[in-house]
Amino acid sequence: MSDSAIASAAPLMTVKQLSKSVTDASGSLQILRDIDFQLRAKETVAIVGASGSGKSTLLSILAGLDTPSSGTVLLEGQDIFALNEDARAALRAQKMGFVFQSFQLMGNLTALENVMLPLELAGQRDARQRATQMLHHVGLGQRLQHYPKVLSGGEQQRVALARAFVVQPAVLLADEPTGSLDFATGETIMQLMLDLNREQGTTLVLVTHDRELAARCERCITMEAGRIAHISERG
């Protein structure tokens, strides 16, 4: 996306004064503090920072999987925390895709069935055809009937990418998607993710420790001790 197009794009997601704290026997722990930023349609954004800086908690809140102590998240103008849990789950199914370091595939389902699952849950009648096409697209056309346990880590992450992108989400949230892969496989997976992002016009939000990987995104949000320390634009 060009600089002028990015500048003029309306925000897809707006994060407003987001804070998160938890309390246990030792007292209160502030995990996130006064987080404010916007995500623009079709852009790629990396969230980086040391372990414990709040990256994964922030991603979970963006997804509506965790709730903030204060503040909120707007997705296409909809306050996701004004919705009940069922409505948030429906919104996730319609608008969001997820990729995790640990793949999170269903072990009792084949590669094809894993990718079909979100389409079937959404009531799509062409789920098998669309899932088959997506698996061919990520280079797994010969692995449709294989179960996760017989797939390599890279192949499992390709299945996870296919499952995430097959629903054509408005936003894809990825938590250390290459963290459990060797360097070469991780590079391949990251390039595939960026290619799919461009093809579908999805907004990609990526939590990573890998600075080289983060540098390939259009913006980088650096977290320190639960706050945004810096937001940089590529180029």
Residue 103 predicted with pLDDT over 80: yes
CATH number at residue 176: 3.40.50.300
pLDDT for the residue 235: 60
Could you say which DSSP state residue 82 is in?
G
pTM: 0.86
Q: Tell me how many degrees the CA angle 140-205-165 measures, rounded to the nearest 5.
A: 30
Number of domains forming the structure of the chain: 1
Where in the sequence is the domain holding 206, given as residue range(s)? 3-233
Instruction: Give the C-alpha distances (Å, rounded to integers) separating 82 from 37, 53, 67, 189, 224.
Output: 19, 27, 11, 35, 28
Percent of the chain exceeding pLDDT 70 equals 95
pLDDT band at 111 (very low <50, low <70, confident <90, very high): very high
The three-state secondary structure class of 13 is strand
Hey, which residues does 14 pair with through a beta bridge? Answer: 38, 74
pLDDT for the residue 210: 82
- Give 108's contacts (C-beta < 8 A, 6+ positions apart): 147
Q: Can you spell out the DSSP letters for 140-181?
A: -TT-TT--GGGS-HHHHHHHHHHHHHTT--SEEEEESTTTTS
Instruction: Give the C-alpha distances (Å, rounded to integers) separating 169 from 30, 86, 118, 173, 200.
Output: 31, 18, 11, 10, 8
Residue 110 predicted with pLDDT over 60: yes
Phi, psi (deg, nearest 5) at residue 228: -80, 115
Instruction: Give the C-alpha distances (Å, rounded to integers) separating 48 from 30, 175, 186.
Output: 18, 11, 17
